[in-house]
Chain A
């Protein structure tokens, strides 16, 4: 252990601890911008500089390891003065102007620059902003970049490269022309970006955000001729109230449903319904592939971030992908067929909106093979913004129920929102469908939690089913390499975002590991409290098959609920 004195506090820390980490232990907050837990150290913003006795120059707390006997001053007058000037410089590079300012910014409620300004006590800005004059990158269906707001902290670069294992961004040029851009400046829509949106969570400013659909949604809500239905993904209900100041993990399902009704949606449905449907189709596919010697392992297909990833980086594995559409798209397909027919709504008058924790779903909805079944995709953040704009005090609303029949679901659908959930839901159903016996222990703890790659084995009717789960594309790549090297599984769940969809690119900011865990806990709480916890027990799913689809895997089910993929390569 090393002894260190920070701001008069004596403490002991392990070798390799940085000043920043040690200060945190002593309950001292040192401001940072380019630092993010879990990413490599960059040492660019210099806001974390501190005085170290014996050194003339200030030292970056994030990059300086404690030496035995070190005496550190984190907020001395010299340090505070330097930080203030530094902050003025950063702000001047961040292009705040009349048309582009904090009030109109996507991050008006979650900007880290504002937090830092508060933390270091900024009272004046003496420099006028320098307009860098870059154009916006609108090439992607999912994510938009505003480089004028970029402070080149490099967090998006490191997030994409180190956590997601992709590396879309790069730092180009030098001097004042230094800019973060996509490879070859091609634009995010023209490179191997998976649209996962994790870079948005990394960004301290409004330089990265989703491509907005909320304006179009306002339009259709006010258009009398349209019948507008909405679906909400499982992960949204355990996160949306964070945008209203609630504790992470607060469950706000009923309040959200009430708010959606007040916004004017004609029907408020649940993506959980189609998640149950997905399990029926995907479970059937799994059983078929096992019984008939089909391509194994079977890969889940509900994460469009993962789909784009495999299309780019492992196209040779496309036959392994389940042909099932994602729950979002299954919902869209059923809404625009079964629901429209039953209620005599012409297809052109029916608008399907989805609320997703996800940016990649925006891209997915635009895939030509999806036939425009889902018209608009809102992120959790966009919906929260609409609710605020409508003056609805969501968290204090009386809870309301989803509409029938596409609003009813089992606990198996809820857990889709967490890593391992699809696997668990599928195992619950597959077991009972194959054996015809009741599954005694419904909880598959092996596949839950934040471990990057998880494995389990389940005995089903004499067969040991081997399953694996990976979340976060960096882990996904690792698992893919294991499979490539010969590791054998029957069924593999892959999710683009760390933690699964509860950590999706469209979720409230901040989304940290701690917050992810709280959202996950709530998801399992919801599942636990439900009477029905197995997809095949959903009475309305049975009804849908009886009335419309026939049976799982039927011809009609295939037409509506299954899709195909495109080998994109790199």
Chain B
């Protein structure tokens, strides 16, 4: 099977050889028409939440304000996700183009690109892109003679996963503590410095640029009815060929992605399970992999597409070790604001840390209760999804993880 190249069609790195066709096209359109085109494409945000991009732009466009901001979210903190790094390194000009188009559409004259602090190379590459774009007048006043002004600043991430959340990210850019804000108000109403702000993922913006460039019709011809277009899939774990693959939605099943693109499991090991959307999603077992890779099919299977990280786990891992690692990640990464997430993840970690011989029915119930509480009551997406992995492992490997004789006994 071949990749479907929509975003990866060409890699654009040299500003002197790039014409910014999509941007030029957009600048000749009315703002509303740019939004209509993106709306028509049904593009959904690629940062994890899947919010319709055109609608987000429209909401921000309609806000009356003396100033608006556009923020490109390149924090990419979810383990196993590295597609934004790929785009920032290999197609930075496409990303810049997307930023400019979005800014133009919503009426922003200033923007930020927030790049994960550990991403030294993307930061270097993109800083140069910004400098060169300023020199060539692609950032600044009256871009391409259109009367549109826009400048862009790069902010290095502070190294916290939660800063990838749009409201935390806004706080972080404002120099405040990186923690989520209460919504509403949503960023499109009151975001950065209380001005209407659109936050979009790197991949979202690059896709938007290609949609303007190749047309929404081309995009709509790809994928399924509910998942249009293509997705950059980050394949990693115990497979032969890890990497970024661009796939049309519905083109392949999860199993095909693992076997055809990933080359199957390495070292001839068997497959234990797959994390289909990054460690904040629920796992799928071997016999659940024959489903098309789309938003709707993964949802129906009880998991989610998340940020596009498909992590394949082979047989020789210790389940409790894996849970402990994931738990440690979430415990350390909670921003600490809300009690269920901060204390729940702390407790789960402590429970797992001393676990060697399996769980009792009582412990099992406790973890379930904590999982439910965090999911239902946490303040932001980090907390709400933080126990998906652990709960699903416990559910699906009950036989293996419970103390013998304690299975299904109500504690």
Chain A residues within CB distance 8 Å of chain B? 41-47, 49, 57-58, 60, 63, 65, 78, 81-82, 85-86, 89-90, 92-93, 126-127, 130, 151-152, 171, 173-178
Contacts and interface: CB of A to CB of B under 8 A. Distances in A.
A46 B362 CA distance: 24
B299 to A, nearest CB: 12
Contacts of B379: 43-44, 46, 60
A175 B342 CA distance: 6
B377 interface: yes
Interface residues of B, number: 37
Interface in B326-347: 331-340, 342-347
Contacts of B333: 174-175
B375 interface: yes
Interface stretch (B107-115, B125-133, B201-209, B364-372): B364-372
Nearest to A45: B339
A174 B346 contact: no
A564 B12 CA distance: 72
B339 A151 contact: yes
A60 B339 CA distance: 12
Contacts of B362: 126
B347 A89 contact: yes
B372 A85 contact: yes
A86 B373 contact: yes
Nearest to B383: A46
A89 B346 CA distance: 9
15 contacts: A43-B338, A44-B337, A44-B379, A46-B379, A49-B377, A57-B377, A60-B182, A86-B339, A89-B344, A93-B342, A93-B343, A126-B362, A171-B177, A174-B332, A175-B336
B376 A126 contact: no
Given A171-B177, A175-B331, 18 more contacts: A42-B337, A43-B337, A45-B339, A46-B339, A46-B377, A46-B379, A57-B375, A89-B339, A90-B343, A93-B339, A127-B366, A130-B350, A174-B178, A174-B179, A174-B336, A175-B332, A175-B335, A176-B331
Nearest to B333: A175
Contacts of A44: 337-339, 379
Contacts of B347: 89, 92, 127, 130
Contact of B340 (A42, A65, A89, A130): A89
Q: Which of B335, B340, B379 has the most CB of A within 10 A?
A: B340
Nearest to A91: B343
A486 B373 CA distance: 55
A82 B373 contact: yes
B342 A176 contact: yes
A116 to B, nearest CB: 12
A157 to B, nearest CB: 11
The binding surface of chain B is classed by DSSP as helix
A442 B194 CA distance: 50
A11 to B, nearest CB: 22
Interface string B377-399: 11100001000000000000000
Contact of B334 (A86, A127, A175): A175
A82 B366 contact: no
Contact of B384 (A57, A90, A93): A57
Contact of A126 (B178, B344, B366, B373): B366
A174 B376 contact: no
Interface centre among A41, A85, A90 (most CB of B within 10 A): A85
Contacts of B258: none
Contacts of B179: 174
B198 interface: no
Contacts of A152: 336, 342
Given A46-B378, A57-B384, A82-B372, A174 B160 contact: yes
A176 B329 CA distance: 11
Given A43-B379, A57-B375, A127-B347, A63 B182 contact: yes
A58 B376 contact: yes
Give the 7 A-B residue pairs with the shortest CB-CB distance, closest first.
A178-B336, A89-B343, A85-B373, A46-B377, A175-B332, A85-B369, A176-B346
Contacts of A41: 182
Instruction: Tell me which of A81, A126, A177 has the highest count of chain B C-beta atoms within 10 A of its own C-beta.
Output: A126
A126 B376 CA distance: 20
Contacts of A49: 376-377
B162 interface: yes
A89 B367 CA distance: 12
Which of A42, A173, A175, A178 has the largest count of B CB atoms less than 10 A from its CB?
Answer: A175
Contacts of B350: 130
A171 B179 CA distance: 11
A46 B377 CA distance: 6
B373 A89 contact: yes
Among B333, B340, B376, chain A packs the most CB atoms within 10 A around the CB of B376
A65 B179 CA distance: 21
A177 B343 CA distance: 11
Interface in B346-367: 346-347, 349-350, 362, 366
A85 B349 CA distance: 16
Nearest to B329: A175
Contacts of B340: 46, 86, 89
A86 B377 contact: yes
A173 B162 CA distance: 13
Nearest to B181: A43
A63 B181 CA distance: 11
Contacts of A46: 338-340, 377-379
A81 B342 contact: no
Nearest to A58: B376
Nearest to A176: B346
Contact of A93 (B337, B346, B375): B346
A47 B339 CA distance: 9
A58 B337 contact: no
A174 B179 CA distance: 9
A288 B333 CA distance: 63
Interface string B162-188: 100000000000000111001010000
Contacts of A176: 331-332, 334, 336, 342, 345-346, 349
Nearest to B369: A85
B376 A57 contact: yes
B148 to A, nearest CB: 36
A45 B338 contact: yes
Contacts of B160: 174
A60 B376 CA distance: 10
Nearest to B380: A43
Nearest to A153: B339
Contacts of A126: 362, 366
A220 B177 CA distance: 49
A129 to B, nearest CB: 10
Contacts of B162: 174
B189 to A, nearest CB: 13
Q: Tell which of B182, B334, B344, B370 has the most Cβ of chain A within 10 Å.
A: B182
Contacts of A63: 182
Given A43-B182, A127-B366, A82 B377 contact: yes
Contacts of B349: 176
A171 B336 contact: yes
A175 B375 CA distance: 17
A174 B377 contact: no
B376 A173 contact: no
B350 to A, nearest CB: 7
A126 B361 CA distance: 13
B376 A78 contact: yes
A173 B182 contact: no
Interface in B43-87: none
B396 to A, nearest CB: 22
Which of B345, B346, B350, B372 gathers most chain A CB within 10 Å? B346
A174 B373 contact: no
Nearest to B342: A178
